[in-house]
Amino acid sequence: MGKNRTTAAKTQKIKTRRKTLGRQSKSIRRNPLDTPYRRTMGRFAKAIPKSINMLAEAKRLGTTRCVAQRMASFSFRTRPAGTIGLERGIRGRQFRPCKKRGQCVGKTKRGKGTKWMVVVDGQGIPLGNHLDSASPSEVTLLEKTLNNIAVPREGRGRPRKNPKRLITDKGYDSDPLRERLAGKGIELICPYRSNNKGQKYHDGRKMRRYKRRYKVERTFSWLGNFRRLVVRWDHDIAIYNAFFHIACLIITLRRL
């Protein structure tokens, strides 16, 4: 039997065409870039030298509110994105390479903290304060606190800084401190410790005023109602001192 050569030739052409189309589609699907820019998945791809000027075609769509012109003005090249790292500019967080510390923070038996030194009047209104580390004793910080007092006089003259009397607890028990304050005209009313045998400045009549010391502790309890002062969140002592002054101002306005 004879064969139709024309039909056989057409069938062969269709088969070869299908093979070439299949190969081209696979190559396009696998390698969308040119040969010099192809890389394996385990490496970083180089920058593609292709500008975004193709957005200029959007200009033909319309010029409503100049959106197309602004989009067509970009002319930078695409680059691989860099690594993303943590920065210190995150809102509400402060990243540090070591443990968080702060100015005027010292160790005590109960942990770390900042010591409040406050002088109040007979009504519990704060007259002066000093913030320092919790490690030093109150004896070494009392004179610094007195330097921050400035009570204005009724007439002319410098503000008063030295009160007539100071009622303190046993933490201020020190005869050298009593002598230094006596030289400034300040009477220190402070009970002696039980282990202090030499009580040469003890006077029972003056110690009657010691029962009024609850007014100082009451002021400290008022300051403890401010959440921003109980737990210190500020690293800088100046900011913490500013909030302390605001709390003293609020207490003063309430008592007036």
Write down all domains in the chain, each with its CATH number in brackets. 48-78 (no CATH), 106-255 (3.30.420)
Instruction: Give tens-digit pLDDT for 111-169.
Output: 888 999 999 998 999 999 999 999 999 999 999 999 999 888 888 888 888 899 999 99
Cβ atoms within 10 Å, residue 239 = 13
Residue 196 has pLDDT above 60, yes or no: yes
Local confidence band at 27 (pLDDT 50, 70, 90 cut-offs): very low
CA distance 150 to 77: 66
CA distance 27 to 183: 98
Cα four-point dihedral sign 211, 255, 237, 166: negative
The number of angstroms, rounded, from the C-alpha of 256 to the middle of its chain's C-alpha atoms is 34
**Which residue has tokens 């201020």?**
172
Instruction: Give tens-digit pLDDT for 46-72.
Output: 555 544 444 544 455 554 556 556 555
pTM: predicted TM-score of the whole model, two decimal places:
0.59
Whole-number pLDDT of residue 46:
54
Amino acid at 224: G
Q: Quick one: which H or E segment has residue 119?
A: strand 111-120
